[in-house]
Amino acid sequence: MSTIFDPIRIGRIDLATRICMAPLTRNRASPGQLPNDLMRQYYQQRANPATGAALIITEASQICPEAQGYLDTPGMFNAEQVAGWRRITEAVHAEGGRIVIQLWHVGRISHVSLQPNGQAPVSSTAVAAKGKTYIAGGFADVSAPRALRSDELPGIVAQYRQSALLAIEAGFDGVEVHAANGYLIEQFLRDSINDRTDGYGGSIPNRTRLLREVMSAVADAIGGDRTGLRLSPVTPANDAGPDSDPQALYGHAVAELAPLKLAFLHVVEGATGGPRDIAPFDYAALRARFTGAWMVNNGYTRQMALDAVASGRADLVAFGKPFIANPDLGRRLREDAPWNALDTKTLYGGGAAGYTDYPVLD
């Protein structure tokens, strides 16, 4: 029987415990979508596996300029960004921690003011999402997207591949592809959003095509044993309506990735950051189709995490908001110490307040 405090090897990555820091958008990058010293301090504070996380998954980071959907999120597509991230991976490694970067393309969850030349965001569809994003000056409705042509998709796949290669150059232990929470890949997966009539729409194998091509390209570039994937089969986040058959869709998606021997699959159970029981879904059946490490997330308490790993239901547990408010969450889990409360006003944007100034024990 394992505990959340036991080591594990996932793919090529050795972890000191099963405690992971979930990806968390904090909107504190510098102009140029650049990682900076404040971000370095934030990750470093959480990087020692004895007190923090064994594995940090960074905040979602753009694979290309068109992939941005919110103000001041970091990028991973040019040399300056690589140099900035390198300082962060070095700081995390100096603490004995491991760090993978979450790579995303937001698709239609964006705003023309964040897009190159003020152009429309791209998606599987030309139908706008209902929802807001955060831009210069405050919240704004997301913009109407342009549906990608089929001949543009190989270029998007190539951008994921290139971004993953840059991540390795920046010293990351691997990458997590963000295919959750209503962003581009999920905009292709779900039949509630994908209204295409080409080879990327319609049947389940067509809707999972972009995911399959992205994961194959990334795994081919850096190794499946350094590649993870995040899915959220039933989340309603970012106006992602429920798929007509999520069990079949996500089951197929995971089964066809088997040849890639991915390091881990990170599943958001229920509504991201909300109710875990929003819709029925058999996560154990999904796991049965996967051979790598199984990472669970969403609203885990200490007891839930202990039970999930002790029972064998999960290999790893990712904590999100608790890691914002508790840089030493690993120690607090070990000692069963109370957790600091989260200040929700300082989640997105701003400086050190609510970012690097949460207190540790003693």
- Choose, by CB under 6 A, the member of 17, 25, 123, 187 that binds ligand 8OZ: 25
The nearer residue to ligand 8OZ, 17 or 110, going by C-beta atoms, is 110
At 115, list the tokens. 């897009």
- Choose, by CB under 6 A, the member of 33, 159, 272, 297 that binds ligand 8OZ: 272
- Residue 355 binding ligand 8OZ, by CB under 6 A: no
Query: Shortest Cβ distance from residue 205 to ligand 8OZ (Å)?
Result: 25
Q: What's the DSSP call for residue 225?
A: G
Neighbours of 217 (CB within 10 A): 20
Neighbours of 289 (CB within 10 A): 16
Phi, psi torsion values for 337, nearest 5 degrees? -90, 155
Query: Shortest Cβ distance from residue 335 to ligand 8OZ (Å)?
Result: 30
The residues near 300 (Cβ < 8 Å, ≥ 6 apart) are 308, 317, 318, 319
The nearer residue to ligand 8OZ, 72 or 256, going by C-beta atoms, is 72
Query: Shortest Cβ distance from residue 225 to ligand 8OZ (Å)?
Result: 24
- Residue 70 binding ligand 8OZ, by CB under 6 A: yes
Phi, psi torsion values for 102, nearest 5 degrees? -85, 120
Give dist(CA 267, CA 269) in Å, integer. Answer: 6
The nearer residue to ligand 8OZ, 53 or 333, going by C-beta atoms, is 53
The nearer residue to ligand 8OZ, 176 or 191, going by C-beta atoms, is 176
Query: Shortest Cβ distance from residue 330 to ligand 8OZ (Å)?
Result: 23
Bridge partners, residue 195, by sequence: none
Query: Shortest Cβ distance from residue 25 to ligand 8OZ (Å)?
Result: 4
Q: With the C-alpha atoms ordered 25, 119, 240, 155, is the resulting torsion angle positive or negative?
A: negative
Give dist(CA 199, CA 195) in Å, integer. Answer: 11
- Residue 114 binding ligand 8OZ, by CB under 6 A: no
Q: What's the DSSP call for residue 208?
A: T
Give dist(CA 77, CA 142) in Å, integer. Answer: 23
The nearer residue to ligand 8OZ, 70 or 300, going by C-beta atoms, is 70
Query: Shortest Cβ distance from residue 347 to ligand 8OZ (Å)?
Result: 8
Give dist(CA 327, CA 42) in Å, integer. Answer: 8
- Residue 159 binding ligand 8OZ, by CB under 6 A: no
- Residue 286 binding ligand 8OZ, by CB under 6 A: no
| Residues 176-215 as x/- pattern, contact with ligand 8OZ by CB under 6 A | -----x----------------------------------
183 belongs to the catalytic site = yes
Q: What's the DSSP call for residue 166?
A: H
| Residues 219-238 as x/- pattern, contact with ligand 8OZ by CB under 6 A | ------------------x-
- Residue 57 binding ligand 8OZ, by CB under 6 A: no
Three-class HEC string of 256-325: CCHHHCCCEEEEECCCCCCCCCCCCCCHHHHHCCCCCEEEEECCCCHHHHHHHHHCCCCCEEEECHHHHH
- Residue 60 binding ligand 8OZ, by CB under 6 A: yes
Query: Shortest Cβ distance from residue 270 to ligand 8OZ (Å)?
Result: 13
In terms of phi and psi (left: phi > 0; alpha: psi -120 to 50; beta: otherwise), the region of 11 is: left
The nearer residue to ligand 8OZ, 49 or 104, going by C-beta atoms, is 104
- Residue 51 binding ligand 8OZ, by CB under 6 A: no
Q: Which of 70, 160, 183, 283 is catalytic?
A: 183
Q: How far is CA 104 from the centre of its chain?
A: 7
Spatial contact of 339 and 321, defined as CB atoms under 8 Å apart: no
Q: With the C-alpha atoms ordered 143, 148, 153, 155, is the resulting torsion angle positive or negative?
A: negative
Contact footprint for ligand 8OZ (CB under 6 A) = 25, 60, 70, 181, 237, 272
Residues taking part in catalysis:
183
